[in-house]
Amino acid sequence: MTIETLRLTRDILLRIFIIGFVFALLLGLVTMVGWNTWLGLAGDWFQTDPATLTPLVLKFFLNVRFFLLFLILAPALAIHWTLRKEQARKKK
């Protein structure tokens, strides 16, 4: 891989992380604000109770966090640090 390809990959991953983080915050905010309303609607539509739905929602947000942190942000930071080290090596 060339340096430019690594830079492009890093930039794309960082932008994916930022967009995903904003969407996760909005989803969390909408979920918390409308919890009572959506819980009743989900119970009617899917015949679920709060004891079943609450762990599913928590698991969803944990999966989103895992995806954003470990599959998007960690490789982006690794590439970023590698590029920074290469840049410092070229200056010497």
Going from N- to C-terminal start, the domains of the chain cover: 17-87
User: Considering Cα of 66, then 67, then 72, then 75, what sign does the dihedral take?
Assistant: positive
pLDDT 10s digits, 34-52 = 998 888 888 889 898 889 9
| Lowest-pLDDT choice from 35-44, 57-66, 75-84 | 35-44
Q: Is the pLDDT of residue 92 over 80?
A: no
Angle 78-84-86 from CA coordinates, rounded to 5°:
105
Q: Which band of pLDDT confidence, cut at 50, 70 and 90, is reported for residue 9? A: very high
pLDDT above 70 coverage of the chain, percent: 100
pTM: 0.84
